[in-house]
Amino acid sequence: MFNEDDARRRDAADPGHRDLFHIPPATGGDHPDVAYFAGNSLGLQPKATRAELLDDLDDWARLGVEGHLEAGRPWLPYHELLTDTAARLVGALPSEAVVMNSLTVNLHLLMVSFYRPAGDRTRIVIEDSAFPSDSYAVRSQAAFHGLDPDRTVVRLQPRPGEDTLRTEDVVDYLRTEGDRVALVLLGGVNYLTGELLDIPTITEAGRAAGAIVGWDLAHAAGNVPLRLHDWGVDFAAWCSYKYLNSGPGALAGAYVHERHHGDPTLARFEGWWSTEPATRFEMTPVSRPPASADAWQISNPPIFAMGPVRTSLQIFDKVGMPALRERSERLTGYLEQLLDEFVAGRPVRVVTPRDPARRGCQLSLRIGGGSGATGGGAHALTARLRHEHGVIADAREPDIVRLAPVPLYSTYHDCWRAARALAATLPTEGGDDV
């Protein structure tokens, strides 16, 4: 059933939008292009990015400083070109979203406002397998407030023998310990396991406990449908170089629910772009922050970094997250079926939830065996997949290999290639390579 012809037929019936992207050439295997499964680490380049970025560069060459007002896309209000599309992507009102800085910088700026420990309510709740930068960020915030990070930061763990968090366990913790929690800051989709957390249920439980609830959406934005405003999320931040395909180190996004706009009790760092645009060039010493997420901006936007984000957001706006989510479930489900068939009897186990509602477009594989193809760890295995089979996957040591069939540009044939490559590379349970 799961042969190459079947994969080709599926691609003909469900082609996606691969033609909009540059696909890197393969350096190994029998195919000219790679089967790319690392979009959860760095997305591929849209073909439109180069030309549109060159347009902005040409305006600089042609106009100099006058480009602030006279460029084809004037620089002074440039960030506003991204606001509506970014807001639609995460289910926010336009006033609630802004593109700025990098992910962890945005988290720190938001925690300046929203992590306000007082009395016994000091704890910050994260998941034990949070991305390291989130762990560093919350520990440093606790220390900044004079608190002991080891006592302040609570790391929620799966049940013994399980790989992912259960929603009921998170809710139960917030119900029983919530009066000591100042901030809940979890990853919408866990970077390691690919688990999609129940954002609305956890948000409701955290807010009912009297805590502020924020989300790191690095692996959720552009991957799963989001409705941040309707779910009542207090704040969120995300990067745009993974599923949003805006280039390495691309500008990130931030969200602040409208109920916090204009709140004079919120501490907030400010800079030139934190003030009302209409009065910015009055050059007054006191800012007049707008009642929107723009108030959390500090510096004027880097135009040449904003261009690729704008280009990518336009793709998402045109295709739409509902259609992408539907194709994501088909592709990821197909890859899961292939793995069930092709790597049965080999030292590999999918740790991502099998329920499509509890995951995005990522399957994380825990590789075992300790010898043969797995002896050098996860990176050694992904190196073999790339150089011998033209399959690019992502490794997290010591034993996790992540495969992300991105619905915009991945194909069913890519999935077939990945499963076949793993079958050819991994030893059987008896220890013999195949």
Q: Can you list the domains of the chain with their CATH numbers?
A: 4-47+320-425 (3.90.1150.10), 77-319 (3.40.640.10)
Helix axes 321-342, 412-425, angle to 10 degrees: 30
Q: What is the pLDDT of residue 433?
A: 42
- Cβ pair 193, 364 in contact under 8 A: yes
Q: What is the pLDDT of residue 369?
A: 56
End-to-end, the C-alpha distance of the chain in Å comes to: 21
Q: What is the pLDDT of residue 84?
A: 98
Cis before 289? omega within 30: no
Q: What is the pLDDT of residue 29?
A: 80
Q: In the chain, which residues have pLDDT < 70?
A: 369-375, 429-434
Mean pLDDT for the chain?
95
User: What are the tens digits of pLDDT across the range 128-146?
Assistant: 999 999 999 999 999 999 9
- The one-letter amino acid code at 342 reads F
Could you give the strand order of the β-sheet that contains 394-396, starting from the edge strand earlier in sequence? 348-350, 363-367, 400-403, 394-396
Q: What is the pLDDT of residue 432?
A: 44
Q: What is the pLDDT of residue 434?
A: 34
Rounded distance between C-alpha atoms, residue 27 and residue 32, angstroms? 8
DSSP H or E stretch at residue 73: none
- Cβ pair 165, 189 in contact under 8 A: no
Q: What is the pLDDT of residue 372?
A: 40
Q: 0.85 exceeded by the pTM?
A: yes
The residue among 230, 244, 255, 246 whose CA lies nearest residue 324 is 244
Q: 95 forms bridges with which residues in the sheet?
A: none
Could you tell me the two tokens for 73? 């896309």
DSSP H or E stretch at residue 58: helix 48-63
Q: What is the pLDDT of residue 134?
A: 98
Residues recorded for the chain: 434
